């Protein structure tokens, strides 16, 4: 991908995570508006007097000037657009933001082409975690929309087995088939998880609505747990591994 990048270019990006490199450098994993997911080197970012250090922390929205390096682009200038500071002052918000960032990080690879919809969704969701007293709807909406934008949209309207329209009764959900299975097809089959019509209704709502519309959702606690469990199970199946952040978030809340 390096050969397709300009020699010097400017990106707006959100830092997903970073890793120490060498004696004083950091490798940044970031999602940019212009080129999707990228990695870049912030030279000297771990030095106490580095001017870049405060601009390249996780969850930070930044403008970066990058120069094409031999292996990875090199950060030559960094400017913070939004530090989302409340995410660092509240451990629950930190853990919640981590679930959002880890999901995108695990699902995407270095791309080299823009995906403005995903960038905007990520930025909007971090802002919602900062500002909303309870960001549960914002995070579930984000998960459903990320699956949509990355091509993993679950089928929630028709049975994935017989293609019959789903009726207003409890159904099954199949992670391997990517959607809802009607009671007639699902009874006795392995890998089926029961899903109530109420939980299914909210997942459909998040799938087809704008966020202001989705925000009006008021699911009961047990329905929230059910919808979250189905989404997390489907994501785990797709990734073939569990995300670390949801478990960390539960520990923090407890």
pLDDT in tens, 17-58: 999 888 888 999 999 999 999 999 998 888 877 777 678 899
Return the structure tokens found at 47: 């030095």
Q: How far is 39 from 46, CA to CA, in rounded Å? A: 17
- Ramachandran region, residue 114 (left: φ > 0; alpha: ψ -120 to 50; beta: rest): beta
Residue 195 is predicted with a pLDDT of 96
pLDDT at 250 over 70: yes
- Give the bridge partners for 36, in sequence order: 32
Instruction: Answer for the pair 195, 173: CB distance below 8 angstroms, yes or no.
Output: yes
Give the model confidence (pLDDT) of 172-205 as tens digits. Answer: 999 999 999 999 999 888 899 999 999 999 999 9
pLDDT at position 1 is: 53
The answer as to CATH 3.40.640.10 being correct for domain 88-253 is no
Predicted pLDDT at 63: 96
Model confidence at 231, in pLDDT bands (50, 70, 90)?
Answer: very high
Q: 2-83 has which CATH code?
A: 2.40.50.140
pLDDT tens column, 72-86: 999 999 999 999 999
pLDDT for residue 11 is more than 60 = yes
Distance CA 111, CA 19 (A): 19
Q: What is the pLDDT of residue 56?
A: 87
Tokens of 221: 């606690």
Nearest Cα residue to 29 out of 15, 13, 42, 49: 15
41 and 22 in contact (C-beta within 8 Å)? Answer: no
pLDDT single digits (tens) 206-218: 999 999 999 999 9
Alpha helices in 41-182 (DSSP H): 86-89, 91-107, 116-131, 136-149
pLDDT of residue 3: 55
How distant, in Å, are the alpha carbons of 180, 195, 229 from that of 192? 9, 9, 13
Q: Are 95 and 82 in contact (CB under 8 A)?
A: no
Q: Domains of the chain: which residue ranges?
A: 2-83, 88-253
Q: What is the rounded CA–CA span in Å between residue 232 and residue 215?
A: 20
State the Cα–Cα distance between residues 178 and 242, nearest whole angstrom.
Answer: 17
């Amino acid at each position: 991908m390096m050969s397709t990048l300009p020699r010097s270019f400017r990106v707006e990006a959100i830092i997903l995570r970073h890793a120490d490199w060498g004696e004083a450098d950091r490798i940044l994993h970031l999602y940019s508006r212009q080129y999707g997911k990228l990695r870049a080197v912030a030279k000297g970012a771990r030095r106490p007097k580095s001017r870049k250090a405060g601009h390249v922390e996780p969850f930070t929205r930044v403008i970066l000037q990058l120069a094409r390096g031999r292996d990875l682009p090199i950060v030559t200038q960094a400017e913070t657009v939004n530090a989302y500071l409340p995410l660092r002052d509240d451990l629950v918000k930190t853990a919640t933001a981590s679930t959002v960032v880890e999901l995108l990080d695990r699902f995407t690879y270095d791309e080299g082409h823009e995906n403005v919809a995903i960038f905007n969704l990520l930025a909007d969701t971090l802002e919602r975690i900062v500002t909303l007293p309870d960001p549960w709807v914002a995070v579930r909406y984000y998960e459903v929309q990320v699956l949509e934008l990355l091509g993993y949209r679950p089928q929630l309207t028709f049975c994935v087995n017989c293609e019959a329209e789903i009726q207003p009764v409890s159904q099954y959900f199949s992670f391997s088939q990517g959607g809802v299975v009607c009671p007639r097809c699902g009874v006795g089959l392995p890998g089926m998880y029961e899903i109530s019509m109420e939980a299914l209704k909210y997942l459909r709502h998040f799938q087809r609505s704008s966020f202001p519309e989705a925000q009006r959702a008021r699911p009961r606690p047990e329905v929230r747990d059910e919808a979250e469990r189905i989404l997390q199970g489907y994501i785990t199946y797709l990734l073939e591994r569990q995300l670390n952040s949801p478990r960390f978030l539960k520990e923090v809340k407890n």
